[in-house]
Amino acid sequence: MKWSPWHTLVWLVWFVAFLAYESWAGLDHDSRTPMLTQATVRYVPWYVTLSFILWLFIHFAVRYSNHPYILRLRAES
């Protein structure tokens, strides 16, 4: 899959923004500034998190089960 430059730029901006906020919240000594990971654990229900983890596992299993690297390893053995 080839990503367009805009797609790559959007993901990069989101990733850098997340890291910047996490760093700022971690280094800020104000207790009223929650880190995003803490807010996620506090406000996202366990069943939503579990559903996401299961979806992610299934996604990786389907996506990478026929990856050329794995197919080459299967052919060598």
What single string gives the DSSP state of each residue in 13-35? HHHHHHHHHHHHHHH---TT---
Number of residues that this document lists for the chain = 77
CA-to-CA distance for 54 and 19, rounded, in angstroms?
A: 25
Domain of residue 31: give its range.
1-43
pLDDT value of position 55? 95
- Same domain, yes or no, for 50 and 36? no
pLDDT value of position 77? 62
pLDDT value of position 69? 65
CA-to-CA distance for 57 and 66, rounded, in angstroms?
A: 15
- Same domain, yes or no, for 38 and 57? no
- Same domain, yes or no, for 39 and 49? no
- What tens-digit pLDDT sequence spans the chain (77 residues)? 577 889 889 999 999 999 999 899 888 888 888 888 888 888 999 999 999 999 999 988 887 777 676 667 677 76
Please count the structural domains in the chain: 2
- Same domain, yes or no, for 61 and 77? yes
- Same domain, yes or no, for 2 and 28? yes
